[in-house]
A and B are shown apart, each in its own frame.
Chain A
């Protein structure tokens, strides 16, 4: 059975995706918009299921899996080669799980697009997007990889600007495609450097030939790759496309982008820094750690400043990528010091947080999407009281919020615990420079957890609790059954990945130790065996919590009389409460913003209008504008662009338009070349 899946699952998946893409275009062309949407999503689901069956059976039954395939077509033969190792299988699993949930969720939401947009195109790019993500993971060849990477970028670009009638969506898409092209340029540079020394685009050749590369070029290749991948992963300061593009896309696409697309960059980082360059200098690990620390703490702070629910979630993706990088950087450092065991454990932490973030971020984006769909706005200040109108969606969002805040008993806690363990281990055993960087990483992780909890109290409270703040949430309705299925699947997985950490961590440990270049681990230890002697066990914690709840119930049942409960108005000190008296999302996080004003530089102008200019006793209106400057745009990007423009202006001087000048250029070039060749 498993063998069957391993042999045919992947091809079935690609077949489904291709079929879905073509069918949706054809149906769209024949004005069967609705059908095209449904068919494309159904086929995407089917393909994702096939890919999932393939990857799961590969993960469980493929020992040291290395599954090759190549097209025996002339020139293509050594250009299109696929290889599925256990790491790739893991990422296929992550991608396909989220893809299934997102496709089921999205298959219901086409009514608001009917008539205004071409649904056929959407289905085409949607399938292309998922397929290219899978292809990125299994490509065993730089050429094919870059092809798939580009396809992923282009498809997601068209999905982002799908609602192109909204002005800012187009701008967001433009920013997104710009930065992703920039990243591709750097990646291409990295592969060129590798090609220069390995003489091949093939990953297997590159893998074996990296050892013989001169150190300088190794580091150049790694630097180029790091910049290129960081721009896709949304590492600060290359994150600016993320909070623009994710809100612009339809919700299930943002779930895919934020949940898994940025993870492909993590996958490629693992390939480069651990698989290709096992001998990378440990400072690379420390650099990744530093980037992770900065991204996590700044990402969550920026998330706190947001009141657009999808932008908030997008900034949390930045934060969680930071947390993943903390684990990844730690593991690279350990590996480069030859501490294979700790390295594998830290990699387990990174991978565990990768899958966790994919699950709960997708869940949050989907539930936020159904809220946006129900209310028609993304502004949290206009929500409120939705828990009564959409109880199930709010429960889903709550699960996601508790999980992403890293609170037990859900999955987020497990990976944060593992990351903490690897950081503390590094603090304990590494040389002093590494110790200090690990300390910084641990500090940022410690504060990130609490700030994330604060941010999601704000998000959940402002969205679902208390009374409605605006008229929009008055006529909100519960999400459809399909959407519920999609969300419920992810919520269930969030719980399972919390409870089942004992079974999942060892599987990830096999991935962590699967890189043959490192001393093969004979007996894989339990990564949940942390700093101390007692292993961490989530089931015990859950049992304790449940027992505590039961005990509480018993205490109340025993000692409390049978008191009657009277429903009355909220205690309002005599004045009638209006929605404006509730705390707003902005007000909730204002204190934290002011505490971190050194980092965020908040602005506020107060303007008062008086009834009569002479006596300043009676104010007519008083307005306070709280603002946050986009520091990265102002401090980093604008100066760079200005520099480039000035350079361009200089360069234009040589463009006289006079033919003789150009001839002169040619002449001079010729002379220079001759001198250089015959010197």
Chain B
């Protein structure tokens, strides 16, 4: 049983992430009273892209060709630090919340470089906007997780989860504040509404899409898959730490834990879909308000915790 869970923590996130993307798209389609593609559509897209040929710009350097591997590989490395079921992570060393934040930043760094590498106009401003948002999101991300770390006295996700099993009722006020902060950071980091439009066709509204505009074939597949992994990782962390009934608290029944985890993921994905179909995208210079808000929420929760 343990070994099954362990293997699941290793391959779970890259395995499930396309399905989560498909789930969100499906829910959005339903909100628009369409049927939409099936949940497993992203798998088909990835499979197709892996089979297609590639076209690479003549201006691109090794950064452009190498970046997808770094971006995808870093998401794998982070995923191994996140416990899915129970409090066991495949590789606790990368589960430290600062390591998590800075490994995410590493992926973003190379993604932005790749965007600038082809010398097209879109990639350039895409990476400019991406780095702007990433820089401003970091505060909220670090402080929302630091609140939990200060409350539980643990710095790894596994430690936080095992400490949160016995969380008193009052602990859920700072937890909810940190959770709100983390959720805003989630939306911004994963290029979701109201920060970015994941399904845009207008170059002027693109941030993440603008950077991968030049990619094709298997490298594009890696980039999109990595984006999916990132989203699923954020969702899992949110579900396991900020939402009550963490799998650790459910005791040893792994099946129950799995069911609860899937339920949570579905609910969070539904929330994201809801936001995307009811909100409008923010004006670029209003997004910082959102990100600073997330940061300050994290600060308030820390104040409540430590004072």
Contacts and interface: CB of A to CB of B under 8 A. Distances in A.
Q: Do chains A and B touch in the complex (CB under 8 A)?
A: yes
Interface of A: 384-385, 387-388, 402, 405-408, 413, 416-417, 420, 424, 427-428, 432, 435, 439, 442-443, 446-447, 449-451, 453-454, 456-458, 460-462, 464-467, 530-534, 536-537, 540-541, 544-545, 547-553, 556, 559-561, 563-572, 577, 581-583, 587-592, 594-595
A447 B139 CA distance: 5
Contact of A439 (B52, B57, B153, B299): B299
Contacts of A561: 50-51
A565 B91 CA distance: 36
A428 B154 CA distance: 12
A548 B143 contact: no
Contact of A595 (B127, B218, B288, B307): B288
B137 A570 contact: no
A534 B102 contact: no
A583 B128 contact: yes
A466 B73 contact: no
Contacts of B209: none
Interface of B: 47, 50-63, 69-70, 72-77, 80-81, 91-96, 98-99, 102-103, 105-106, 108-109, 112-113, 116-121, 124-125, 127-129, 131-132, 134-139, 142-143, 146, 149-150, 153-156, 158-159, 213-214, 217-218, 221-222, 284-285, 288, 295, 299, 302-303, 306-307
Nearest to B155: A532
A595 B307 CA distance: 31
Contacts of B128: 458, 583, 587-591
8 contacts: A446-B142, A530-B96, A536-B99, A540-B94, A550-B73, A552-B76, A568-B55, A583-B116
Given A544-B94, A552-B72, A594 B285 contact: yes
B135 A552 contact: no
A451 B136 CA distance: 8
A384 to B, nearest CB: 8
Contact of B132 (A442, A462, A464, A591): A591
A461 B113 contact: yes
Nearest to B11: A551
Given A453-B134, A534-B96, A565 B113 contact: no
Contacts of A420: 98, 142
Contacts of A402: 106, 109
B102 A408 contact: yes
A532 B105 contact: no
B154 A467 contact: no
Contacts of A439: 299, 302-303
Q: Which 7 residue pairs across A and B have the least CB separation, nearest first?
A: A583-B124, A466-B119, A540-B93, A450-B135, A532-B155, A548-B73, A461-B116
Given A453-B135, A454-B132, A583-B116, A548 B149 contact: no
Given A544-B80, A567-B58, A583-B125, A537 B93 contact: yes
B222 A556 contact: yes
Given A467-B59, A570-B120, A551 B76 contact: yes
A405 B109 contact: yes
Given A454-B135, A466-B117, A547-B76, 4 more contacts: A408-B102, A531-B154, A536-B99, A552-B72
A660 B27 CA distance: 98
B255 to A, nearest CB: 28
B77 A544 contact: yes
A450 B139 contact: yes
B73 A549 contact: yes
A462 B128 CA distance: 11
A75 B173 CA distance: 70
A415 B93 CA distance: 17
Contacts of A556: 50, 69, 218, 222
A545 B77 contact: yes
A660 to B, nearest CB: 69
A582 B154 CA distance: 46
A290 B245 CA distance: 41
B105 A427 contact: no
User: Which of B75, B94, B135 has the largest count of A CB atoms less than 10 A from its CB?
Assistant: B135
Contacts of B60: 570
Contacts of B213: 571
B121 A582 contact: yes
B5 to A, nearest CB: 19
B10 to A, nearest CB: 9
Contacts of A456: 109
Contacts of B118: 466, 570
Contacts of B98: 417, 420
Contacts of A451: 135
Contacts of B93: 534, 536-537, 540-541, 544
Contacts of A405: 105, 109
Contacts of B69: 549, 552-553, 556
Given A405-B109, A544-B80, A534 B125 contact: no
A435 B306 CA distance: 8
Given A428-B150, A564-B53, A571-B213, A453 B109 contact: yes
A549 B70 contact: yes
A454 B131 contact: yes
A572 B136 CA distance: 30
A209 to B, nearest CB: 39
Contacts of A406: 102
B156 A532 contact: yes
B3 to A, nearest CB: 19
A540 B80 CA distance: 11
Given A461-B127, A465-B117, A449 B132 contact: no
Contacts of B63: 387, 465
User: Which of A417, A447, A464, A532 has the largest count of B CB atoms less than 10 A from its CB?
Assistant: A532
A595 B137 CA distance: 13
